Amino acid sequence: MARRDHRSMEPRTSARKARETSDRNQWIRTSHAYDAVIDFDVATRDPANPTRYLPRYDSGDHLHPNDAGYEAMSNAIDVALLQACIRFHANRATVGRTP
């Protein structure tokens, strides 16, 4: 028998978890709630099976990337975007301060 989630009577299934993760990721990508998004999911997932890593990025436990997966994640980071975010927040932190 499947374990039941205390928040609902729906069984906790891998399909339900995958749907929740997909919905959450879609919201993060499209909500504009964040200054920027670095999408590690897109960088590492298997297009033929979007709930899994590409085999070349899978550590074998299907939960964590291997070294090549971490490298793909680091390559997904737009350094210019990251630097712009850092500058923006650094400037915000100094506004209104007296020297």
**Boundaries of domain holding 75:** 34-94
Is 57 domain-assigned?
yes
Is 13 domain-assigned?
no
Is 43 domain-assigned?
yes
One-letter amino acid identity for 52?
A: R
Is 7 domain-assigned?
no
Mean pLDDT on 79-89: 89
Is 75 domain-assigned?
yes
Is 50 domain-assigned?
yes
- 9 falls in which pLDDT band (50, 70, 90)? very low
Is 77 domain-assigned?
yes
pLDDT confidence of residue 34: 87
Residue 45 to residues 10, 49, 54, 91, 95, Cα–Cα distance (Å): 27, 8, 5, 36, 41
Task: Quick: pLDDT tens for 26-74.
Answer: 999 999 998 888 999 999 999 999 888 999 999 999 889 999 999 999 9
How many domains in the chain? 1
